[in-house]
Every structure is written in structure tokens, then in C-alpha cells.
Homo-oligomer: A and B are copies of this chain.
């Protein structure tokens, strides 16, 4: 019996791959990891396309993993993961545990926020270390330091923002901009705020930290990009999203 780790993309039921959907249909148990990101559709929307009952797996169910692994021992079992499988760092543990007890693991990949931001038109090869800002960040300086380090080497930074779907709590790009201003970044530093990337209604705004800190984007999840020096082609691509006021 096998454990299928399946990335389901960023937004709606049709973001799954054909390969992923075929695997889901073969599985007896289908879990959805529900705490590291948020889709733009409901569980019922997924169930309607997949033709399967979905079990919501909270942080405890995934990190403990006993229930999922027990199921995978006796029948094909899927763990659906928003985005791609290993874009959140918590999933390698379940793959290793399955491997250690002899359960075969199949990975079916999908897009991730780490690459879907390529759509704004800046070079994915020139990103440095990915940065995360936690909700409780009053005395947390390491995200700001990592971004400075990336900038010092002329590398762009993708800044992922904390979220807690079970509490309907999502950090916004303006919260993140406010964090950076509080940590010594220049008010005129140009940044790109992104919301709902991967959806048809995605919002992208290229402006100063000061303006982004005051601007409300509605879609979630959101992220912020701090660009290093831009190639003229990147600058041209970003001009599509420039704040005009």
C-alpha cells in the first residue's frame, strides 16, 4: 500500500494535475493538510471534483501522523497539500516516517508560491533565501536581517507571511510592510505586494513600502517581494503593476 503526497496547487479544484486526480480517485483515504496555506475554494468544491470524501488534517494530525500512516499501511492513502508538497518545510517528516516503516511514498508535484510569483516578471533564478514573518514579530529581527543579506548580494527576497486558517487569521502585505518599516527599512524602498497569486483575481502592486503599508489587498494568502537591483526587462514587467498615484 502507498502514501500519495499530492500537491493541489494554489487556488481551486481544477489546479490539481490529471496524475494527481487519478491518484486521489484510487485512494481509500484522502486527507487535506489544512494549516500551512489556504485555497480559494471550499472543501466541498474539492470533494465535488474529486468524487471523494476529504478528511481535514490539522497540524496535530499531520505532525503526529500516526493516523495517516496507519491508513497508508493497509490501503492507498492520499495527503493533499496546498501548493507543492515540500514548499512548506513540515512535510518531509511524514515522508521519512513512511519510508522508515516501509510504506511506499509517491510524490505528485504541483506549482507553489515559490515559483508562481514568476508571473510578476522578475527572475526566479535571482532570489536568495526565502523569508517568513511570524505573527508575533515584535522582537524578531531575523527576517529583516535575511532580507538585508539577500539585498547585499543583489538577490531578490520572497517574504512569506504567517497564517492560521483555523482562526481565519492571515498576515497581510501591509502588515509585512509595517514590520519592515519598524525594522529600519527605508520608506521609499520599492516592494511588490501580491495577493491570491494563482487565481484569476490576483492582486499585484509595485510601490513603496510606505504606500504598501497603507494599502489593503483583499485576496489571501498574501506575500511580499523585496527586489534587488532590477534588469530593465524586470523593471518593464513590474511597470504593469506600478502604483500610479
The interface of chain A, by Cβ under 8 A from chain B, is: 7, 9-10, 12-19, 21-22, 49, 84-87, 89, 92-93, 95-96, 99, 106-107, 109-112, 114-116, 118-119, 121, 123-130, 132, 149, 153, 155, 198, 200, 233-234, 236-237, 240
Number of identical monomers bound together in the oligomeric complex: 2
Q: Are A89 and B17 in contact (CB under 8 A)?
A: no
Cα A7 to Cα B7 in complex, Å, equals 15
Instruction: State how many angstroms separate the Cβ of A232 from the closest Cβ of chain B.
Output: 11
Known contacts A12-B19, A87-B124, then 16 further A-B pairs from the complex at CB < 8 Å, ordered by chain A residue = A15-B18, A85-B118, A86-B115, A86-B118, A92-B234, A92-B237, A96-B236, A99-B240, A106-B200, A107-B119, A109-B111, A112-B115, A114-B115, A124-B130, A125-B129, A128-B153
Closest to A158 in B: B125
Q: Which of B9, B16, B85 contacts A119 (CB 8 A)?
A: B85
Instruction: State how many angstroms separate the Cβ of A78 from the closest Cβ of chain B.
Output: 16
For residue A114, which residues in chain B have a CB less than 8 angstroms away from its CB?
Answer: 114-115, 124
